[in-house]
Amino acid sequence: SAAEKGGYPSFMLKEIAEQPRAVADTLLGRIGPEGTLTLDEIRIPARELREIDKVVIVACGTAFHSGLIAKYAIEHWTRLPCEVELASEFRYRDPILDARSLTVAISQSGETMDTLMALRHAREQGSRVLAICNTNGSTIPRESDAVLYTHAGPEIAVASTKAFLTQLVACYLVALYLAQARGNKDPEGIRSVIRDLAGVPGAIERVLAGMEPVRELARSLADQDTVLFLGRHVGYPVALEGALKLKELAYMHAEGFAAGELKHGPIALVDRGLPVVVVVPSPQGEPLLHGKIVSNIQEIRARGARTVVIAQEGDTEVVPYADHLISVPATPALLQPLVTTVPLQVFACALATARGNEVDQPRNLAKSVTVE
Ligand code: G6P
């Protein structure tokens, strides 16, 4: 009903708008004043956390994309090797796991069959399992050794938005907690990122306040057949997520690529007028990759692409090559997906609406896939 949607035309728009709150709620009570984390839910004692020698993340759909981003953070902050795998593939493999492995199962619903089976498969090999979940008491947390709940609140729209951002927050918390427990060569750096997390809800708020041009752009692209998404580093999974949202909601052909792969295929798709969304890393945080992606944007533009560039505020270098520029507030490089994902959600939602689609219940999709 209209009342349930809180005055928004769809649950999806309501849930997109709720993201600053969802992120704040997921951080609540977990960050101490000195930039230290308290995650009592992770009942694994510090001594055992120090013995972990490998992290394996399993998930499906949008939750899988949060895992792909988590890998960059976990490896960088903890120096632990981290693998991320689609639960539907992992469960049929012979993964190499033991009691020193930590398997992280990420699921909004806590009921996705493949993710549940993947976690059982990991447990059979002796791995510890930590769930990141949005649904209290659901099956995946019940079958895990520990659970870190995301506090996004109920997510009704089939396409995941606020649950995704809170999954990311939970992944960052796990990574930073492991770094804190195991020691990091730059403890002040870790505390500083923890403090930066507290500023993220405000940053998302600012992104949301500037979304009218994105909606306008989306409406102007309603007749397109294809949209490509490019990213590097943590922007690569963001590109995958942007493309997934467009498939789910707008029923358009959309693909996400690692920008470094352009010359290995995707550039052959670039033709006059093709919209290409590029997620640009922070010029300060990732100067090398920033330079590389600026050349990628020049390359596709020279071949006629219509470039939609998502970049950090004050990034003047990209301006000459952006047909459409979407600015996001500065964050530490690894946290950038928390702000760059938001315009892509708004974009997909507006494009779907412009094409006459029902955004809360896309055709053929279910909120939770509890069968095979
Ligand atoms: C379905 C939903 C997606 C979701 C995926 C995984 O495909 O439509 O939005 O990302 O399942 O769901 P889970 O509940 O395990 O996060």
ipTM of the complex: 0.95
The pLDDT value recorded for residue 146 is: 95
Q: Is the CB of 66 under 6 A from ligand 1?
A: no
The pLDDT value recorded for residue 40 is: 87
The pLDDT value recorded for residue 214 is: 98
Q: Which residue has the tokens 């447990």?
A: 123
**Mean pLDDT to the nearest integer, 351-368:** 95
**Residue located nearest, by CA, to atom 8 of ligand 1:** 367
pLDDT of 338 > 90? The answer is: yes
Ligand 1 centroid vs 180 CA: distance in angstroms? 30
pLDDT of 80 > 80? The answer is: yes
> For 261-270, b where at least 16 C-beta lie within 10 A, e where not — what string?
ebeeebbebb
Q: Is the CB of 247 under 6 A from ligand 1?
A: no
**Nearest CA to 77 among 225, 178, 214?**
178
> pLDDT digits over 342-355, tens only?
999 999 999 999 99
Say which amino acid occupies 120.
R
For residue 179, what are the contacts with CB-CB under 8 A and spacing of at least 6?
77, 78, 190
Ligand 1 centroid vs 22 CA: distance in angstroms? 18
What is the reported pTM? Answer: 0.97
Q: What is the mean pLDDT of the chain?
A: 96
Both tokens assigned to 162: 């606020």
Site to substitute for ligand 1 among 160, 345, 364, most atoms within 8 A of C-beta: 160
The pLDDT value recorded for residue 299 is: 97
Q: Is the CB of 331 under 6 A from ligand 1?
A: no
Contact indicator for 194, 37 with CB cutoff of 8 Å: yes
Ligand 1 centroid vs 370 CA: distance in angstroms? 10
Q: What distance separates the 2 farthest-apart alpha carbons in the chain?
A: 58
pLDDT of 32 > 90? The answer is: no
pLDDT of 357 > 80? The answer is: yes
pLDDT of 1 > 80? The answer is: no
**Of the listed 54, 247, 292, 367, which one is catalytic?**
367
> pLDDT digits over 105-162, tens only?
999 999 999 999 999 999 999 999 999 999 999 999 999 999 999 999 999 999 999 9
3-class SS of residue 326: strand
The pLDDT value recorded for residue 45 is: 87
Q: Which atom of ligand 1 is nearest to the CA of 164?
A: 10
The pLDDT value recorded for residue 31 is: 93
Q: Is the CB of 119 under 6 A from ligand 1?
A: no
Q: Is the CB of 167 under 6 A from ligand 1?
A: no
For residue 302, what are the contacts with CB-CB under 8 A and spacing of at least 6?
none
The pLDDT value recorded for residue 371 is: 87
Q: Which atom of ligand 1 is nearest to the CA of 62?
A: 10
Q: Which of 92-101, 182-191, 257-266 has the lowest mean pLDDT?
A: 182-191
The pLDDT value recorded for residue 115 is: 98
Ligand 1 centroid vs 292 CA: distance in angstroms? 33
Ligand 1 centroid vs 72 CA: distance in angstroms? 22
pLDDT of 164 > 80? The answer is: yes
In whole angstroms, what is the distance from residue 242 CA to residue 246 CA?
Answer: 6
In the chain the first and final C-alpha atoms are separated, in Å, by 31
In which band, very low, low, confident or very high, does the pLDDT at 248 lie, cut at 50, 70 and 90?
Answer: very high
Q: Is the CB of 158 under 6 A from ligand 1?
A: yes
The pLDDT value recorded for residue 34 is: 85
**Mean pLDDT to the nearest integer, 73-80:** 96
Site to substitute for ligand 1 among 111, 164, 369, most atoms within 8 A of C-beta: 369
Q: What is the percent of the chain with per-residue pLDDT over 70, rounded to a whole number?
A: 100
The pLDDT value recorded for residue 176 is: 96
Contact indicator for 106, 59 with CB cutoff of 8 Å: yes
pLDDT of 98 > 90? The answer is: yes
**Residue located nearest, by CA, to atom 11 of ligand 1:** 368
Ligand 1 centroid vs 364 CA: distance in angstroms? 13
Q: What is the percent of the chain with per-residue pLDDT over 90, rounded to a whole number?
A: 94
Q: Which residues pair with 56 in a beta bridge?
A: 83, 103
Q: Which atom of ligand 1 is nearest to the CA of 160?
A: 9
> pLDDT digits over 216-240, tens only?
999 999 999 999 999 999 999 999 9
pLDDT of 324 > 90? The answer is: yes
Q: Is the CB of 171 under 6 A from ligand 1?
A: no
**Mean pLDDT to the nearest integer, 302-313:** 98
**Is 162 labeled as catalytic in the residue annotation?**
no
